[in-house]
Amino acid sequence: METQVLIGKVALVTGGNSGIGFGAAKSLIEAGAFVYITARRQQQLDEALAQLGQNARAIRADVTSKKEMEDVAAIIKTEKGSLDIVFANAGGGNPVPLREVTEEYLDKTYNVNVKGVVFTVQSMLPILNDGSSIILNASITAYMGLEGFGIYAATKAAVRSFARSWTTDLKDRGIRVNALSPGVVPTEGYRTEQGMSEQQVQDYVDRVTTEIPAGRVGTSQDMGNAVVFLASEASSFITGIELTVDGGQTMVYAGKN
């Protein structure tokens, strides 16, 4: 694939200070884009920015706040005039068995994964150029039952659904909307969000790798490559889809016959 396919493009990556969002920001910059990253933790934003370099800018903002996302849009408009790529990536959720699900947990998971994605895209609409690309971060859990992840999975099914509906809402402006569904990508979130120890992450990776035809778990760079593809002209006839990037885990039986 040609490398500098996004020269002159301006991108927003929510949750860009960590994990998949950081990997995507790196890939978008390598492809020539200028990238705004947002997240809540300032120190992690500063550290990420130091690694991303001069073609990035960090803005502290919580995706669950419409006001804060509108402020992000206002800053981008002032500094760059408009936007071409949105990767609505911020999100997460820890496993909780159904009997222990509380209203607070429901609200927290829904707010970041559903409300946050709506506010991100809605707030950027006025500054998005016609022909832009919006990429929503869903998850294979939306259609692959996983113990304790029922609420999280349901929020990701909503995200996947947005890609279909918003494609029709935005077709007059030629704005494409696609969902990315990562498979297993061991990120900081496994420890910070899901509370796993290093050893637990390693044990999980060893176990799950046997179920992945590609023979390995995913990386943030794998996701970044897919984001660049969905953001670029190479995918200009692709909209409303879910691109599953999971090493074949959900579609192929990896065991022996």
Ligand X SMILES: NC(=O)c1ccc[n+]([C@@H]2O[C@H](COP(=O)([O-])OP(=O)(O)OC[C@H]3O[C@@H](n4cnc5c(N)ncnc54)[C@H](OP(=O)(O)O)[C@@H]3O)[C@@H](O)[C@H]2O)c1
Active-site residues: which are they? Answer: 152
Asked if 83 and 10 count as a contact pair (C-beta separation under 8 A), the reply is yes
The yes or no reply on residue 27 touching ligand X (CB under 6 A) is no
CB of 107 to ligand X, least distance (A): 12
CB atoms within 10 A of CB 18: 24
**Which residue's Cβ lies closest to ligand X?**
19
Q: Tell me how far apart the alpha carbons of residues 65 and 239 are, in angstroms, rounded to a whole number.
A: 27
Among 30, 47, 71, 193, binds ligand X (CB under 6 A): 193
For ligand X, the binding residues in 91-120 under the rule CB under 6 A are 91-92, 112, 116
Q: Tell me how far apart the alpha carbons of residues 185 and 198 are, in angstroms, rounded to a whole number.
A: 14
Among 139, 225, 235, 249, binds ligand X (CB under 6 A): 139
CB atoms within 10 A of CB 154: 16
Among 10, 52, 128, 182, binds ligand X (CB under 6 A): 182
Question: In this chain, which stretch among 12-20, 121-129, 171-179, 204-212 interacts with ligand X, using CB under 6 A?
Answer: 12-20
The yes or no reply on residue 44 touching ligand X (CB under 6 A) is yes
Expressed in angstroms, the distance from the first to the final Cα of the chain is: 36
State the DSSP string of 74-124: HHHHHHHS-EEEEEE---------GGG--HHHHHHHHIIIIIHHHHHHHHH
Which chain residues interact with ligand X by CB under 6 A? Answer: 14-15, 17-21, 39-41, 44, 62-64, 89-92, 112, 116, 137, 139, 182, 184-185, 187-189, 192-193
